[in-house]
Amino acid sequence: MELIRWDEELELHLPAMDAQHRHLVELLNELYDEWATGTRREHLQPLVERLTECMRDHLSQEEELMRTYGYPGLEAHQQQHAFLNEELARWMQDFHAGRSLLSGQSVRLLKDWLGEHINVADREMADYLHRMDVRHE
């Protein structure tokens, strides 16, 4: 079952960022699917690690892009990214400490956060970059 559906509305028309968002959505769906069917924690861990790694790469590339083009909302945007990185770091700590499995609530939180972040904060960034005539990212 898909937790979050990729559709054109999530596209920002920045090819590299769109491809990364799409990949993150796929990873999150895959994780949700495994979690929902009761997959054991040792099988979930590599998925959470992959998602965490891809997310971290994506967020830092986005920040680099905003920095390069002097995006005025960089700081506020970075704070949103920091929140997400903290949430994912908490998941990893829980896994490593042998604590609870992911809860449905935490997976849903991430889904809501990602959808909302792409639609609002990332879109504002993309609008700015388009106004600056940045098309290749």
Sites of contact with Fe ion (CB under 5 A): 62, 122
Query: What DSSP character marks residue 73?
Result: T
Query: How buried is 39 (Cβ within 10 angstroms: 0-12 exposed, 13-18 middle, 19+ buried)?
Result: middle
Return the number of the residue (41 or 123) whose C-beta is nearest Fe ion: 123
In the bound complex, what is the minimum distance in angstroms from residue 100's beta carbon to Fe ion? 28
Return the number of the residue (47 or 62) whose C-beta is nearest Fe ion: 62
In the bound complex, what is the minimum distance in angstroms from residue 39's beta carbon to Fe ion? 27
In the bound complex, what is the minimum distance in angstroms from residue 80's beta carbon to Fe ion? 6
Positive or negative: CA dihedral 85, 86, 91, 96: positive
Return the number of the residue (71 or 122) whose C-beta is nearest Fe ion: 122
Return the number of the residue (42 or 86) whose C-beta is nearest Fe ion: 86
Q: How far is CA 84 from CA 112, 124, 132, in A?
A: 11, 18, 27
In the bound complex, what is the minimum distance in angstroms from residue 20's beta carbon to Fe ion? 7
Q: How far is CA 66 from CA 11, 73, 91, 93, 123, in A?
A: 17, 8, 27, 30, 12
Return the number of the residue (44 or 115) whose C-beta is nearest Fe ion: 115
In the bound complex, what is the minimum distance in angstroms from residue 126's beta carbon to Fe ion? 9
State the DSSP H helix or E strand holding residue 106, giving kind and residue range, or none if neither.
Answer: helix 104-117
Q: Which residue is nearest to Fe ion (CB)?
A: 122
